[in-house]
Structure 1
């Protein structure tokens, strides 16, 4: 944690790169199990996080497939990025799975359905609305989240980059639990720039 906030780095593929990023002290590392993503993890890396929590990202996947990958990768969290229902989340959670549910945000009305998931998720993830499921590289208006009055803590995602630090420090919300970074810190899809992430974390820590 930095300044009381969780740091999640998502969409990783390469074992050595995973080790480098984990050694920076991040809290969560995400693996994308969505075949249409350029960061789709097709084979297990030679190194998986030992200290950072492992997060598996799925989009409208069946529960049996999630269970298979959850067991194979020893996932600590399942992140659902599609149109999964509250009941779907509740069923997974009842089996002892920790759930992060992603929501695409562009307007205040996009927060309306969030409350249906309050009892079925450990965290929400608020991302920028786009045609695909996440990975837009663009930031939405965080001011919209002032309207969120729920009790589930959330992670901020969508276009966060080196120049977002000041805005992140100024963003205050009682349920703001952490930050999810991805495409803006890449050398190529799935391969993160360690120096850029290190600089970001150092600036955020100040």
Structure 2
């Protein structure tokens, strides 16, 4: 199970989370996010994969930020095309395409199918107008309608109280979870004790 802690920014907090055993750490390069990191990370963690989160970013600027901050994985949270995803893969980045999910509509199979051959992972988050980070959950049972071949991470309002529910969730393509606002003291500052207990339940 891949454990990704997203929305990191502050150097001391990044260093603390790095010691907890998370696999990936996410940094948001979307200026409208309260967890926006700016142009340069204060500290580049060494023992985790660094994920840069972008929303409809200019391609040249995206690549500049990715190289400057030595990102391993690029998470695209907007309306980025399959062609862009493929181009980023060809530059040796792993690519995650995020999709906003709501139980008020059928699972968007036609949309996800367009990205099957150009993404390494999908991320299924709660649909919002703010491109994630809402702290709201969606009904995970809708993901049982996902029949694609791309592995995915479960996201969307996961909190410390959800340990058992996450453990019960079963899908052959679910390979990880994405933790963010449910573990925060304030935007971009994670509660180390809560994260430690949660991560320990999966190690």
TM-score of Structure 1 vs Structure 2, range by shorter chain = over 0.9
Q: Structure 2: where are the runs of 5+ without partners?
A: none
CA change 1:135–1:111 in 2 (3 A) is: farther
Residues 62-90 of structure 1: CA deviation (Å, up to 9, x unaligned): 11111111111100000000001111111
- Normalising by structure 1, report the TM-score: 0.94
1:112 pairs with 2:120: no
> Aligned partners of 2:60, 2:41: CA distance in 1, in Å?
22
Counterparts of 1:127-146 in structure 2, within 5 Å, are 127-146=125-144
Q: Structure 1: where are the runs of 5+ without partners?
A: none
SS in 2 for 1:103: strand
Q: Which residue of the other structure, out of 38, 41, 45, is the alignment partner of 2:37?
A: 41
Are the equivalent residues in 2 in contact too, given 1:104–1:110 (CA < 8 A)?
A: no
* 1:8 match: 4
Are the equivalent residues in 2 in contact too, given 1:86–1:116 (CA < 8 A)?
A: yes
Q: How many residues matched?
A: 201
| CA-atom RMSD in angstroms | 1.1
* 2:161 match: 163
Residues 80-107 of structure 1: CA deviation (Å, up to 9, x unaligned): 0000111111111122221000000013
- Normalising by structure 2, report the TM-score: 0.95
